[in-house]
A = this chain, B = another copy of it.
Amino acid sequence: MTEESNAKERVAIIGIGQTAFGEQWDRSIRRITLTAATACLADSGVSGDDIDGLYVSNTSTSSFIQQEHQAAMAADSGGLLPIASTEVEAACASGGVAVRHGYMAVKSGEHKVVMVVGCEKMSDISEAAIADTLMSAADREWEGQIGATFPALFALLACRYMHRYGTTEEQLAAPAVKAHANAVDNPYAQFRFKINTEAVLRSPMVADPLRVLNCAPISDGAAALILCRGDMVDKFEGDPIWIDASTQASDTLALHDRPHITRFRAVTSAAKKAYQKLNITPKDIDIAEIHDSFSISEIISVEDLGFVEKGKGGSAIAEGQFDKKSQLPVNVSGGLKAKGHPVGATGIAQIAELVEQLRGTAGKRQVKGVKRGLALNLGGTGSTAVVNILNRS
């Protein structure tokens, strides 16, 4: 195979754009989406005319403002008509799934340059409506009808995990403490201040053992990427970052149908496929962005990705094993906890952070010498997992 045909079969990320995450009371969902998309075009030097496909990631706007068909809305308000535009929905994993579908659209030969944009606007929705809507991502019939909320489901999981592995409340606080420390240097982050373990343990209980500071916040925001066929990267500005693997897996919708609720089988399955494809091991990952919607999610995920032995996730994080200055920094962006979690944007923003790190343009957040990054985006209580592995060359 020639080098040229090899490049044609690869997919590069050639542009990234984000809004700050947080409360954006004065902006509509159209405006937030456009802001990220425009930043992405500016970053890449790509014009709207170059883009031949659009992917939109959004989770709950159909419930929040009764607007479906957002693929057409984004194509329209972005001035990209008559572009092929598709919305994917996979609960909190929508962003990662959208990136994977942009990747496959390019790999299939049907598209050359694709924009992937994700957005969510949640601040102006009542908390009760948000809690109820988010439950649509779990099993409404078997979990929602008995009054479970998402924090309650993750609390069940955390209780069982802590009982089984002897993880302490202090260790459970560790992902949040790390996330806030990292977010200080991220201009896009919702909470740019440090917290300590005591602050987490003093914060109000949401669903025992999860306290407010164990949970990602409600956020508004958008993030966008431009993907491009490998042999076309020279047409555009900037350093391409390569998507080397993009894999996805599912688990049961309801927690009670799983043999072990302390494992994310979809994470293990998606990660295994990605590692096998690249013939690498977890040790070959230099940096990762991991879905920490609740502290317990990050603890279980670092285990199921193979970064640490089962049961040791909490202690490893508490001991600094995934800190910014460690061998494998996790959530240098601040993660969902401190960067924010506008659901449809989350999985795309994770990848935008990795692109900055691999380009070497992450400013104060920059981790030195990173070549390969992994993003894990989760949907529901781990019912969908998407793993994207990026490479600097």
Query: Smallest CB–CB gap between A85 and chain B, Å?
Result: 5
Asked if A60 is at the interface of the complex by the 8 Å CB criterion, the answer is: yes
Chain A count of residues within 8 A CB distance of the other chain: 64
Given A62-B62, A72-B379, A383-B69, verify A250-B90 contact (CB < 8 Å): no
77-92 of chain A: CB within 8 A of chain B: 77, 80-91
Asked if A137 is at the interface of the complex by the 8 Å CB criterion, the answer is: yes
Chain A 101-140 interface 0/1 with B at a Cβ cutoff of 8 Å (1 = within): 1011101111000000000000000000000110111111
Contact status A72-B141, CB under 8 Å: no
Residues of chain B with a CB closer than 8 A to A72's CB? 90-91, 250-253, 379-380, 383-384
Asked if A213 is at the interface of the complex by the 8 Å CB criterion, the answer is: no
For the complex of A and B, 5 pairs with smallest distance between CB atoms: A72-B383, A107-B108, A84-B248, A68-B136, A104-B108
Residues of chain B with a CB closer than 8 A to A85's CB? 248, 250, 384
Residues of chain B with a CB closer than 8 A to A107's CB? 107-110
Given A250-B76, A250-B81, A252-B81, verify A86-B69 contact (CB < 8 Å): no
Residues of chain B with a CB closer than 8 A to A254's CB? 76
Q: Which of B83, B105, B144 contacts A249 (CB 8 A)?
A: B83
Give 20 A-B contacts (CB < 8 Å), ordered by A residue: A59-B68, A62-B62, A62-B136, A66-B133, A66-B135, A67-B140, A68-B91, A69-B89, A69-B137, A71-B89, A72-B90, A72-B250, A72-B253, A73-B253, A82-B269, A82-B270, A88-B89, A101-B101, A104-B104, A104-B110
Given A69-B89, A69-B90, A265-B82, verify A76-B249 contact (CB < 8 Å): no
Residues of chain B with a CB closer than 8 A to A380's CB? 69, 72
Asked if A390 is at the interface of the complex by the 8 Å CB criterion, the answer is: no
Query: Smallest CB–CB gap between A69 and chain B, Å?
Result: 4
91-105 of chain A: CB within 8 A of chain B: 91, 97, 101, 103-105
Contact status B138-A69, CB under 8 Å: yes
Contact status A88-B91, CB under 8 Å: no
The residue on B at minimum CB distance from A85 is B250
Q: Which of B87, B109, B136, B252 contacts A88 (CB 8 A)?
A: B87
Contact status B84-A249, CB under 8 Å: yes
Q: Which of B65, B81, B89, B269 contacts A68 (CB 8 A)?
A: B89
35-57 of chain A: CB within 8 A of chain B: none
Contact status B69-A252, CB under 8 Å: no
Residues of chain B with a CB closer than 8 A to A139's CB? 73
Determine the distance from Cα of A135 to Cα of B69 in the docked complex, in whole angstroms: 10
Asked if A257 is at the interface of the complex by the 8 Å CB criterion, the answer is: yes
255-273 of chain A: CB within 8 A of chain B: 257, 265-266, 269-270
Residues of chain B with a CB closer than 8 A to A383's CB? 69, 72, 76
Contact status A253-B76, CB under 8 Å: yes
Residues of chain B with a CB closer than 8 A to A321's CB? none
Determine the distance from Cα of A347 to Cα of B224 in the docked complex, in whole angstroms: 29
Residues of chain B with a CB closer than 8 A to A89's CB? 62, 68-69, 71, 87-89
237-292 of chain A: CB within 8 A of chain B: 246-254, 257, 265-266, 269-270
